[in-house]
Structure 1
């Protein structure tokens, strides 16, 4: 057992399980669903995974152990523009907590994002019941994340369970007060800006795991990956903060060479999503706003399992390169074709056999609302020998 779940073949692949008759090892991120979280201090958490060795015939516990690690964890961020962000995590001491039910003191202030492990809040210091206190040369803004009961008797958690309360606070230095004189006069003309032009850039990166926090750098290539191990890709529109733009991954494919037009090739994404074969799975992952991701529409995350690329009826074990065509859509233009949105289904089937080169364009797109970018990454070495790493 790994945490509350039985160790299946799928979980073993997910956690890179290796073992023999005397030893085993696995690797899992501290945010994995099978870990338990304990708050240590205001800026650190301890994550623990419990392991049980069972006799399946007699249902006996032969051995049990746990592993724990402490990680730095930024729970509150104080911004100079008078806004605060706070992260609340589900802890083991409140097992029935649903993070989406958490609110600030003003119960109308709910998380801007939540999942089954955490809730993320963003609010200004003059809202959501935030209090302000002056002392010495500081201003203290304080609020509280909690699970509250309303007056109608509807409770989101059993009264016998422990309370969940997390104080969030920000200190601002008040050094001195200055008086500034200014005057104004009516404008003769409305301000205008000259029309200019620029180049929008896109990039594709290979993430080290499903958290999309760490990425392989140029000096890390070629990257070695095992067959059946997922590859996590991020395609991003860079150097733009325009919320009216959205990046759509139109198509992706793998080749044996860095030439994107070389043969053979294996389709990974076709027409933004769909592909009728059922050999293996491409998964699009949701992208949420955080300190790194300012505009989620500028980024797409997807993963593929590398175990069904075949060449001449044999499973491919070779270097591959991955190429994508991305479309940048402007919501102020005519939204047709791909610009109506990226594939929103979590699972889509794709080809595993070599295909002929497809044309750059599939379908008609309005030229006033899209721009196309071509991006590639690699090489990625596929191997079935775990000892080669």
Structure 2
């Protein structure tokens, strides 16, 4: 027995299952076997054919010849919800010179991820490879095309080129709007759900901004920070990683010292009992509004201090200072407490602050956090290098 796939050759019993008796011959040929040919492809199937020739040996008399064609299920295109598409291109009998590895999508740089002498497999995203999109009523259609082009490389002679009309259209259909119905059943609970009590820590930080926009801040490695006397210091105090709108941040007291120890003297009062020190016209509170970084304005407080605030014996200080604050976290559902708001008293004309020796009391509603800045060097332009 001989098989025909472009040319006749003797049946290889190691590749195919062959049984015979005195009256019948049975042969099993996989549809992907090299001796089969593909006649046509559909979106969900492929039609394969095998040609057989029965000979009598040793005289080589032709007893019979036959062809058998069958349709086999085969998914040619798969469209996934995430926009990924896989497509299979098949070499059919009508284009025997086709080399699947030279097939491309509409964008010729999109080549098969796998190919052999009979198949080419593509995987791509609907937003790439020249894919087009069309709307029809409530349906969105994506289309691309697998085709053979003449630019197949210098090594292949023009005699073997394939007509560029070989095309395989890949289409994906998606509903623009759809309604899904779901059903569920509930079982009665033995007891109501409850939350176990937990303990967490609220984090508050104080940072020195580079300018009044409060977009850029000095980092730890930037200290000590050098500032000219005519430049304000822009401070921001923020409650970190909290999404609870019932919590508000209030600055109870803020002051400056010459040393990192917040209890040392001399010291200069900046904010006293939630208000800017009325003896100083160089301290300003800034309103905070919600933006891409600040989601709850009540969790942030901003104020500035001008260098002329720091004086000793009527002389503007030109040394290293540290700024300290006591920040209270309060419950906004109790308006009679310190959550009544940060003081907004009108500024009054006054002289720069002089060092004080008063101690500050601690007020707490929910919790109080003690904050300190890094060292800040006060300098004028004449001696700053």
Give the alignment's TM-score, normalised by structure 1.
0.50
Q: Number of matched residues?
A: 216
Once the two structures are superposed, what CA deviation does each residue of 1:343-377 show, in whole Å capped at 9, x if it has no partner? Answer: 1346467861000132333xxx6x6x431110000
Quick check: 1:221 aligned with 2:223? Answer: yes
Q: Is the 8 A contact 2:252 2:325 kept in 1?
A: yes
Which is higher, the Rg of structure 1 or of structure 2? 2
Aligned equivalents of 1:333, 1:251: Cα separation in 2: 21
- For residues 219-238 of structure 1, the C-alpha deviation after alignment (integer angstroms, 9 at most, x for no partner) is 11111111021111000111
Give the counterpart of 2:371 among 365, 368, 375: 375
Question: How far 1:202 moved relative to its partner?
Answer: 0.9
Shift of 1:136: 3.5
Q: How does 1:1-389 map to 2 (within 5 A)?
A: 136=140, 182-278=184-280, 280-333=281-334, 335-336=336-337, 338-345=338-345, 347=347, 352-361=353-362, 369-385=365-381, 388=384
- Could you say what secondary structure the match of 1:250 adopts? strand
Equivalent pair of 1:272/1:343 in contact (CA under 8 Å): yes
SS in 2 for 1:284: strand
Give unpaired runs (5+ residues) of structure 2. Answer: 1-136, 143-174
Deviation at 1:239, TM superposition (A): 2.3
Q: Cα–Cα, structure 1 residues 137 and 230, in superposed 2: closer, same or farther, change >3 Å? A: farther
Q: Given that residues 276 and 283 in structure 2 are in contact (C-alpha distance below 8 angstroms), is that contact kept between their aligned partners in structure 1? A: no
In structure 2, relative to structure 1, the CA distance for the partners of 1:357 and 1:180 (3 Å cut) is same
* Unpaired runs of at least 5, structure 1: 1-132, 139-172
Kept after mapping to 1: 8 A contact 2:276/2:345: no
Describe the shift of the 1:287–1:134 C-alpha distance in structure 2 as closer, same or farther (beyond 3 A): farther
Give the match's secondary structure for 1:205: strand
Query: What is the root-mean-square deviation of aligned Cα atoms in Å?
Result: 3.0
- Distance, in Å, in 2 between the alignment partners of 1:263 and 1:257 is 8
Structure 1 residues 388 and 327 mapped into 2: Cα distance closer, same or farther (>3 Å)? same
Structure 1 residues 181 and 342 mapped into 2: Cα distance closer, same or farther (>3 Å)? same
TM-score between both structures, scaled by the size of structure 2: 0.51
Q: Secondary structure at the match of 1:388?
A: coil
Give the Cα–Cα distance (whole angstroms) in 2 for the partners of residues 273 and 317 of structure 1: 26
Contact persistence 2:277–2:283 (CA under 8 A)? no
